[in-house]
Structure 1
Amino acid sequence: MTGPDERTSVRNSAVDRRRRGESLERGTAAMDVAALLVRTGTAPVVEPPRPSAVTSVRQWDAETLAAAITAVANRYTETPIDADTDFFDAGGTSLAAVELVAALARELDIHPDLDTVFFDARPRRLANRWLADHPESAGPRTDEQPDTDDLAQLFADLAGADRLPLVAAPERVAPRRILLTGVTGFLGSHLLLDLLRHSEAHVVCLIRADDDAAAAQRLEHALRRFALPWSREVLRRVTPLAGDLRRPRLGLTDERWETLAAEVDSIVNAGAAVDFLRGYPSLRRTNVLGPLTLAELACTGRPKPLHHISSLAVFNGADAATLSEDEPTANVAALPIGYDRSKWAAEAALRRAGEHGLVVTILRPGGIGSHPETGAHNPRDLNSGITAALMRFRTVPGFRYLNAAPVDWVSRVAAAIVGTPSAWGHTYHLTGPPVSLEQVVAETTLGGLGIRVQHWEQWCTDVVQAIEDGPVPELASLAQVLQSPVARTQLAAMVTAPPASAARTDAFVAANGLPAPVVPTPAARAKMLAAMTGLGPQQGEDPYLRFHETLTGAVGPVGAAADLPCDLRLTLSVASSAQAFSARTLDVSGELTCGQLHEGPLTVEGTATVRPHDGTPLRHEVRHPIMHYQLTLRDSSGGTWWLEGYKFAAARRRLVRQLGTQVIEIGRTGEPASYTGEVAVPMHTYLPDQIDGIEIDPRLSERQQRLAKLLWLSWFGSQLGKSLLEPVLRVGIDLLDLRRAMRKEHRR
């Protein structure tokens, strides 16, 4: 389950400058992750720690150890922290956490595992936990604050809603000035544009920055990063406001707080920290206390409606048959990870706020998919990572259903709900139709991406190993998540998730004439993600399908007889059937032998297009092109030639001969053609090469291989049939035109 994320996953430049190649202590979970990051090229190679000459255990008291951890942590954060500030709230990243653990091991001789850091990264808590687990390191006892259970902390946070004042219902009119949080995240940036496009409202964007000018720069960067328009018109209707969702009163001065409360008439919260490794104590300030602060703002001055982006994660672990909008959420103790608990707590707190008169709308996306037109996506989204792994490794965990929708539809519907007063105060599921595992297997098979289905735990292990062996730097963050036992628990909940229903959302969409979500097939999603991330089939991998083609004939200098022998031994392949069915393009490799060009064989690479120009005849031609070859020829010394060839169809009887005959031109790179001629497929090679000799990706099951071959022969045969029929139809049309002309002339 995913949601919006204002916290950037890109390591900030200040931290990059502070990298010192810390040594890594072996034997901890954190070091396993560090080793992975080194192998995938996302972390510097570091030296192993040198054995310490000191054999006695160092004694710490809680206050001194907390101060020491704070000093080390401050080297890896965007902003300085104190002993009670969470490392990640100050801009620490997952990679920085790995380096922090390594530095603590080397410099302080304490060895917290990475999951402990993610659970609660406040230095004082890390100190208390280490001393509690290692009493031999504890010095004289002090009156340190006891460690707090995360559920106890959660319920203490909920009490914050009870301190809100009682308010009257807000005026039910379309908003004119909206406060939007999370605008630099994936969903938030799209939501901003939809609020501007489909309403007359001015939008105040709360952005974590030093000042309003820096906030404007962050906003522009976010919109451009997700391929969204940025212009003076956008800025004219937007007010970037430097603030912080994690801080009391949003980090604003009293004057700015009061002004904001008086000016805005609607609040939309798309801000959240989305991190499946962090515990509830580490996420609460953003994901729970932040919404409570917005509820406080909604109650200040004139009452304002509050629209909160939640997540289907609040159901993880529930045993409901269907996740309906009014279904009770899961028992919070059953929620597997801190992120799920923080989203549950935010909803619970806002429901309490509703008992004080506040009008709260809950919007629950599931997985938020890439934009179907721009391809913009959230690279840290777990669903995107699973899709990328599907494309790269042809494997998927055996889930029940995927509850997801593309980002453009989620943001469009959310913006419409914000702008429709009669829709306020309810819960909406912003998901498309649930997709079953059976659908994914069928669609990927038809799309040429036949996959293996694995038990989720085995899938995690195999994918992490494959990323390490690659290496595949683009998937390093996915590997980091899958290596964490905590995150695997969350994935297990996703695997068993029932289908989500969205009856209220569907009714709203129908009543307001909104479009249905455009959900691409998994094969199309994988293809689009591969184009964005470069995760397509790699060199040396088996393609989806390939076959061989032999061509023999002769060429000669332009204007002269073609009497120089020329032979081609080619392999035609496609990485996925989508490559052929959509673009009608095949990859070509092989070699050409022609003594007149070069004494040795020439290496061939390029493409062949089936029915180029949709079969329309070339200029000054009556023949229809069947295939178009565009090839590059290279000799052993680096010299290059170009080869362009066409297979044509014409209205004559020798149809089979037309399918195998290619008219070619050859020339030096950058120069006009110097040789022309004709090569053809010997009839005795056609059946063994292009029918019986078709090779399918051996990673597919035997059944999938048979189906892939049948689909290919059916499609390729239909394309060739069209090519052969087109000139016949053209002759028929020409004859009809001639007959009409003669009748017209006769009537005169």
Structure 2
Amino acid sequence: EVQDTTPDERLEKSLRRFGILPPYEGNTSEKQTLVQSKFTRRVNIIHGDVSLMKFGMTDESYHTQSSDIDFIIHAAAYMNRDQPYPAFVFPNVTGTEHVVMFSCTGKIKPIHYISTNSVFPDGNLDCSEDENIEHFDKKLIDGYSKSKWVAEQLIHIARKKAIPCVIYRLGNIAGDIDQGFWNHQNATLVVLEACAKYKVAPDVDWNIEMTPVDFLADFIVRCTYTLSTTLGKTYNIINDKPLQSRLVYDWMNGHGYPLEIMHIKDWEKRILDELKGEKNHGYTETNLQSLLELNHNDDFCSTLKTYKTANFKEALTDFKLSYPYTDYMLLQKYFEWLSQHGDIVP
């Protein structure tokens, strides 16, 4: 609950912030105008909380929705890398359990479960979509990853009980292709913005993996319409050709964002010193400070995983879709957005 605002107002504000609905002032794209025309008519907001039995609804409302709804995209989750596992149990684990219960109340409703690549431990190579991840629970470190691992186990149990389920393991989510709108809490964005703003970058072998959010949404929606081919599948929606950080640094140096490359520990100290000297911190600065203060390893940004994406690539072929690999044109769009919405000036 947020005081003095309605769910409709909160959703509309978020959609405007991410460029899905047109801004209150300024230019409006054709796509934004189309979404605006359908928003009130097509979007129905229902009061509820996945962590509560029957989502906190009345019996009548719960059973009505269980009959009216045809399929579920379960993306509700709490994410915070510095909280312990118990903080995630109700929203991420119990919430998923309640979604499974809802899916088999009334008519059977397929579940499209939004998972994460964090169910694999750092440093794992060739993580497969069909790999049995049951033995990874002891290797996961943070509470969020553990909670998503448990939730995914619940979805696997639901599958065994003949509930139709599709699992989508998302990697890093980048801004959209058309406008470059990012989530300000995204860790990759936070690091790149810090590099551009303070003109320093960490000397690490960092493979910058990211998938544009609008492509990701398009893929998941297509899957909901083609259960005959996607049912029972797990997809690692991962960029299998990530950008090497040094190529990104070179591009930044050549496009008005000069960088001094330094050891990771020196970089962290420089950024933290800069942050301490600033009085007013926005979302990006606050998230950056938390990210750096939580990191105590020299392998920050480099202990990433590699993945197999056979199921994902097969689905892309079926849908006649091409994966939008990050090129220099997309980088240009992202940094243009950063310069308009952040504190960096090329």
TM-score (norm 1): 0.41
CA distance in 2, matches of 1:264, 1:412: 20
- 1:476 matched to which residue of 2? 285
2:301 equivalent to 1:509 = no
- 1:366 matched to which residue of 2? 171
Matched ranges for 1:240-389 at <5 A? 240-317=45-122, 319-329=123-133, 331-389=136-194
Q: 1:495 to 1:453 in 2, by over 3 A?
A: farther
The answer on whether the counterparts of 1:402 and 1:434 sit within 8 Å (CA) in structure 2 is yes
Indicate which of 406, 413, 417 corresponds to 2:212. Answer: 406
- 1:536 matched to which residue of 2? 344
Deviation at 1:505, TM superposition (A): 1.3
Residues 249-270 of structure 1: CA deviation (Å, up to 9, x unaligned):
1111111111111111211011
- The code of the aligned residue for 2:130 comes to D
Report 1 or 2 for greater relative contact order, CA contacts < 8 Å, sequence distance ≥ 6.
2
- The code of the aligned residue for 1:215 comes to P
| Structure 1 unpaired stretches of 5+ | 1-6, 15-208, 538-574, 576-748
- 2:243 matched to which residue of 1? 435
CA distance in 2, matches of 1:342, 1:426: 21
Aligned partner of residue 55 in structure 2, secondary structure: helix
Indicate which of 430, 438, 444 corresponds to 2:252. Answer: 444
Deviation at 1:13, TM superposition (A): 7.2
- 2:12 matched to which residue of 1? 220
The answer on whether the counterparts of 1:401 and 1:498 sit within 8 Å (CA) in structure 2 is no
CA distance in 2, matches of 1:409, 1:450: 31
Q: 1:437 to 1:359 in 2, by over 3 A?
A: same
- The code of the aligned residue for 1:420 comes to T
- 1:425 matched to which residue of 2? 232
> Which protein is richer in strand relative to its size?
1
CA distance in 2, matches of 1:275, 1:346: 16
Residues 261-316 of structure 1: CA deviation (Å, up to 9, x unaligned):
11112110112112112221112211111111111111112211101111111123
The answer on whether the counterparts of 1:386 and 1:396 sit within 8 Å (CA) in structure 2 is no
Residues 558-600 of structure 1: CA deviation (Å, up to 9, x unaligned):
xxxxxxxxxxxxxxxxx4xxxxxxxxxxxxxxxxxxxxxxxxx
- 2:274 matched to which residue of 1? 466
- The code of the aligned residue for 2:138 comes to A
The answer on whether the counterparts of 1:316 and 1:497 sit within 8 Å (CA) in structure 2 is no
- 1:664 matched to which residue of 2? none
Q: 1:404 to 1:483 in 2, by over 3 A?
A: closer
Q: 1:526 to 1:409 in 2, by over 3 A?
A: closer
- 1:658 matched to which residue of 2? none
Q: 1:387 to 1:417 in 2, by over 3 A?
A: same
The answer on whether the counterparts of 1:316 and 1:494 sit within 8 Å (CA) in structure 2 is no
CA distance in 1, matches of 2:57, 2:203: 45
Q: 1:491 to 1:270 in 2, by over 3 A?
A: farther
Q: Which has the larger radius of gyration?
A: 1
CA distance in 2, matches of 1:534, 1:490: 28
Aligned partner of residue 239 in structure 1, secondary structure: coil
Q: 1:420 to 1:396 in 2, by over 3 A?
A: farther
Indicate which of 375, 379, 395 corresponds to 2:201. Answer: 395
Q: 1:303 to 1:322 in 2, by over 3 A?
A: same
Q: 1:389 to 1:500 in 2, by over 3 A?
A: farther
The answer on whether the counterparts of 1:305 and 1:359 sit within 8 Å (CA) in structure 2 is yes
| Structure 2 unpaired stretches of 5+ | 22-34
The answer on whether the counterparts of 1:387 and 1:525 sit within 8 Å (CA) in structure 2 is no
Matched ranges for 1:130-141 at <5 A? none
Equivalenced residue count is: 327
The answer on whether the counterparts of 2:204 and 2:301 sit within 8 Å (CA) in structure 1 is no
Q: 1:411 to 1:219 in 2, by over 3 A?
A: same
Residues 652-695 of structure 1: CA deviation (Å, up to 9, x unaligned):
xxxxxxxxxxxxxxxxxxxxxxxxxxxxxxxxxxxxxxxxxxxx
Aligned partner of residue 473 in structure 1, secondary structure: coil
Residues 365-412 of structure 1: CA deviation (Å, up to 9, x unaligned):
111111232232111111211121121123136244222111111111
- 1:607 matched to which residue of 2? none
Aligned partner of residue 320 in structure 1, secondary structure: coil
The answer on whether the counterparts of 1:375 and 1:532 sit within 8 Å (CA) in structure 2 is no
Residues 207-266 of structure 1: CA deviation (Å, up to 9, x unaligned):
xx8xxxx33222222222211135352222222111112212111111111111111121
The answer on whether the counterparts of 2:179 and 2:333 sit within 8 Å (CA) in structure 1 is no
Q: 1:510 to 1:316 in 2, by over 3 A?
A: same
CA distance in 1, matches of 2:7, 2:339: 31
Q: 1:386 to 1:349 in 2, by over 3 A?
A: same
- The code of the aligned residue for 1:239 comes to N
CA RMSD after TM alignment: 2.8
CA distance in 2, matches of 1:490, 1:310: 26
Aligned partner of residue 45 in structure 2, secondary structure: strand
The answer on whether the counterparts of 1:445 and 1:451 sit within 8 Å (CA) in structure 2 is yes
TM-score (norm 2): 0.84
CA distance in 2, matches of 1:491, 1:373: 36
Aligned partner of residue 307 in structure 2, secondary structure: coil
CA distance in 2, matches of 1:276, 1:491: 18
- The code of the aligned residue for 1:408 comes to D
Aligned partner of residue 310 in structure 1, secondary structure: strand
The answer on whether the counterparts of 1:278 and 1:338 sit within 8 Å (CA) in structure 2 is yes
Aligned partner of residue 398 in structure 1, secondary structure: coil
Aligned partner of residue 363 in structure 1, secondary structure: strand
Deviation at 1:431, TM superposition (A): 2.4
Q: 1:332 to 1:454 in 2, by over 3 A?
A: farther
Aligned partner of residue 344 in structure 2, secondary structure: coil
Q: 1:381 to 1:292 in 2, by over 3 A?
A: same
- The code of the aligned residue for 1:405 comes to T
